[in-house]
Amino acid sequence: MAIDERVRRSAALLELTQYLDRKPGQLSGGQRQRVAMGRAIVRRPSVFLMDEPLSNLDAKLRVQMRAEISALQRELGVTTVYVTHDQVEAMTMGHRVAVLKDGLLQQVDTPQRLYDQPVNAFVAGFIGSPSMNLYQGKVGRADDRWSISLGAQRLLLPDDRPALAPYEGRDVVVGIRPEDFEDAVLAPSVSDGAVLTAPVTLVESLGSEILVHFRLDAVAIDSGDPDASETLAHEHTPNSVGKFSPRSSVRAGDLAQIAVTVDHLHFFDLDTRAAIR
């Protein structure tokens, strides 16, 4: 009786109740994947090992199952090791996330710290969608403030960065997340030296925000992530993307004034790609 109750509860959780009488050959790939999860749930093991369990599900069901698995994990209190290439799954479901590259551990941390304090350029480019914009920039000083030259343009930092002192006059990797760009017309208060000018090549409307693709006069840096949507050394193609407010009126072909949240800039050593802190 207890077994039947567990089976039916798991089937209801995975939306498989109507398929309980079917044989494996009568199920789709996604349904079979959910059956495999149901078998693990029914057994109530001490550890769950999940290897991309949601990869064959459609987008809507994947979102639902992320929430259901997280709720189940909290309810059962079972340690879960979850393997995924989907950073959204990792960030929304994981208490701690381990980022691997070529079999080597890059960083283990909470999702928010991975986002806020990546230890190297690879983690910085891997976490976040769209990925962090990475450029080669030169560290300098201007009016007793640190400055970063990106091509012919320059940004001034509002706070002291002692870690940059050994790099004065040298090139570093500068990281700017898309959400730290904004249409300067809509920026409530733009600090001195925090605006870039760039031609806009493409605008994508997502309703709650728009993705603005533009080209900065700066060398783009490859993070090392083969899946990152980076366009690197072509003269007329965009090397940057920003998340603007949907109220922005910028259009493809415009020469836009782009505000930068300069206190959120990330810096990495050009040779080792390790974070400069």
Same-domain check for residues 81 and 148: no
Count of domains in the chain? 2
Q: Is the pLDDT of residue 232 over 70?
A: no
Gyration radius of the chain's alpha carbons:
23
> Residue 211 belongs to what domain range?
133-269
Q: Provide the pLDDT for residue 230.
A: 47
Q: Is the pLDDT of residue 233 over 50?
A: no
The pTM (predicted TM-score) of the whole model is 0.86
Same-domain check for residues 154 and 234: yes
- The 10s digit of each residue's pLDDT in 95-151 is 999 999 999 999 999 999 999 999 999 999 999 989 999 999 999 998 889 999 999
CATH of the domain at 75: 3.40.50.300
Tell whether 111 is covered by a domain.
no
Same-domain check for residues 141 and 243: yes
Q: Is the pLDDT of residue 231 over 50?
A: no
Q: Which of 31-45, 77-91, 213-227 is the least confident region?
A: 31-45
